[in-house]
Structure 1
Amino acid sequence: MVKTHVHFPTDTNLLWDAIRKAIQTCAALCDTLDLTEWRQSAYHLRCFKKSYRLIQKLKHSTSQDEAKRQAKQAQIETAYQTYLDQAEAYQQRAHATRQRLNQAHGLPTPMLADLDAYLAHAERQIDQIRRRVPRGETIPHGEKVFSIFQPHTEWISKGKAGVPVELGLRVAVVEDQHRFILHHQVMEKTTDDQIAVSLVEHSQTRFPAVTAIRLDKGFHSPSNQVELKQHLENVILPKKGRLSEADKVRESDPTFVRLRRQHSAVESAINALGVHGLDKCPDHGIDGFKRYVALAVVARNIQRLGAVLREQEQQAANRRRGPYKKAA
């Protein structure tokens, strides 16, 4: 899992990000055209931030008194309503500015693309907050965006102790027996079992000599078990969940057990990639993310090649010196 460079998302701070960038973008565009309608942009940001900070400080009451809990809830809803009203006012004003810049001042649509994106993010967040707070709805996970700057970011729960949630994208890595990375794939809105076959096909396209593969349980599905055997001679793919008698026989085979134990070696490649900079991607956009991952894989292979060459040089030096003997 490679993290993206984002802060922890909430619907309120994402709305703050969207409105802040919309105001700043409008002010910058107006400044280039000597327009003064956003000359107080810094003041507007301070006013909006006060409402945002107030929401951050408000907490739900844990009192046993029902009246106190209701009063606190009413205070929270009032603060949210003020925040949303301000956000809508700034959104509408920024949209009106966008129309004037395009029609009256002739700014082309591509120059306004960033502003359009921020306004779309703001509209979505206003709608989701209204549904969540006053109406009490639960927002479906598929409707959520976890960063307006890195919209490809995904919410990943891996069940690790002390790390309940990670923000980023999964990356699948294929490593050979010599610890070189043969292939990798950035997984956008997909899971391990959905890419198992394509991962093998792409690896074999580049390296036809690949005849066996060891995979985690996460890649298992009944269809994957069948399709992978059509591409490879040996498929070491443990089944998730309860094993049938046939699965017990297959997974207790000595060859299966031996090759499955070797699978843990791929963790060294994952650790090396993380230690050398691939734990978090600082680049922007999905294209930048994929480029950064690819360069990290190339760097890892170069590092591994250097280790192999050093080992060969050391072995050659040992042969020239001959066996080491202790003095009598």
Structure 2
Amino acid sequence: MARINVEVIRAGYRLLDLDVHAMIRGRCDSFVLKTDVHFPTDTNLLYDAIRMLIQVCSKWHAQHVLPGWRNHESNRRQFKRQYRKLQKLKHSTSKNEDKKAAKEREIQQAYQDYIDLAGVYLDRAQTSIEVLKNDYKIPEIHLADLHTFSQHAERQIDQIRRRAILDETIPHAEKVFSLFQPHTEWISKGKAGVPVELGLRVCIMEDTQGFILHSQVMQKTTDDKVAVAMVKATKAQFPSFNACSFDQGFHSPDNQKELKSHLEHVVLPKKGKLSKADQEREYAPEFKHAKRQHSAVESAINALEVHGLDKCPDHGIDAFERYVALAVLSRNIQKLGTIKRDAERQRLLLEKQKLAA
């Protein structure tokens, strides 16, 4: 798809009578592509883990006799009732300290009952794994789902106990935000009205004609870590790419130095207070003009989001990256069609003017 994308862009340049070997200017920015997940809490993640364990074990029970899974539907409903009971409990707002303390004890007991019941089904699932391995000689590779959801359940039981009963704060690095889309990240970009987004950052490089030259899915990384990689990848596909603008999120002292070795013109605003040399650089007319033009990249991001790149319905990181690549390619083909249409309209207009003359 990357090779097809390059050919589409070259075709667009030919239609515009532009030389692909002339200097190409770019604008680089990132946005969040959401994954198809529900809002995560430690309680609903544990519910997901146990629900899937019961479901997978019931399928194995249909093929082999496994202890404890004859009433699997009843087990699932019982666990869901405990989950709903916990969901409905609210902390007391009473000014009476005794009432508040009693309510806190009730909530803690509900959490304890919830993780105790989860532990019962987790132990039963682990017993089933041993039976399948030892008695029925099922290869480990076929038990991967049982191992995966058992690990998820163990982690969530531990985190709920530490948070709700022992009153610990769970470090962000230990948290998982989806069992089914484990690559999902908790992203807060400081946008007004959008406190948090669940997904992955996607970085794009757009040229001044509106074509997206390159894109990259950013896993566990930030804008300042991908600036040089984006430039190198774009330059490998388009050797004449020699100027690029960024916003402050891409700034770092190392980026300022290294980007200059790859590009003739770098527009990378510095964070914080400017030195005299930085002021001279950023107040230069060419720098200020490119900085004003940089916001046009938001139009490309908006076009991608409007045409489907606001949420990825596919599962797995490979499918996520494929979805992004297809969206970028589709956007460039759409842009190519727009150029072709405008050229045809211009041709028809000139013919009408000639006939009228």
Compute the TM-score of the two structures, normalised by the length of structure 1: 0.97
* Alignment equivalent of 1:54, drawn from 85, 100, 116: 85
How far has the Cα of 1:134 moved from its partner? 1.2
| Structure 1 position 252 matched with structure 2 position 248 | no
1:1-328 residue pairs with structure 2 within 5 A?
A: 1-33=32-64, 35=66, 37-322=68-353
Alignment: residue pair count: 326
How far has the Cα of 1:34 moved from its partner? 5.3
Letter matched to residue 240 of structure 1? K
Alpha-carbon distance between aligned partners in 2 of 1:290 and 1:247, rounded to the nearest angstrom: 37
Deviates more, 1:239-248 or 1:295-304: 239-248
How far has the Cα of 1:245 moved from its partner? 2.0
Alpha-carbon distance between aligned partners in 1 of 2:91 and 2:273, rounded to the nearest angstrom: 43
How far has the Cα of 1:323 moved from its partner? 7.0
Check conservation: 2:66, 2:128, Cα contact below 8 A: no
How far has the Cα of 1:45 moved from its partner? 0.8
Q: Which has the higher contact order (CA 8 A, sep 6+)?
A: 2
How far has the Cα of 1:139 moved from its partner? 0.5
How far has the Cα of 1:324 moved from its partner? 10
Write out per-residue CA displacement over residues 148-190 of structure 1, whole angstroms, 9 at most, x where no aligned residue: 0000000011222222111000000001111111100000000
Check conservation: 2:40, 2:177, Cα contact below 8 A: yes
Letter matched to residue 312 of structure 1? A
How far has the Cα of 1:33 moved from its partner? 2.7
How far has the Cα of 1:325 moved from its partner? 8.0
Alpha-carbon distance between aligned partners in 1 of 2:198 and 2:226, rounded to the nearest angstrom: 20
SS, match of residue 208 in structure 2: coil
Alpha-carbon distance between aligned partners in 1 of 2:113 and 2:102, rounded to the nearest angstrom: 17
Check conservation: 1:3, 1:279, Cα contact below 8 A: yes
Alpha-carbon distance between aligned partners in 1 of 2:33 and 2:180, rounded to the nearest angstrom: 16
How far has the Cα of 1:32 moved from its partner? 2.2
Check conservation: 1:30, 1:37, Cα contact below 8 A: no
How far has the Cα of 1:297 moved from its partner? 0.6
Check conservation: 2:204, 2:214, Cα contact below 8 A: yes
How far has the Cα of 1:248 moved from its partner? 1.5
SS, match of residue 257 in structure 1: helix
List gaps (5 residues or longer) in structure 1: none
Alpha-carbon distance between aligned partners in 1 of 2:249 and 2:144, rounded to the nearest angstrom: 39
Deviates more, 1:238-247 or 1:120-129: 238-247
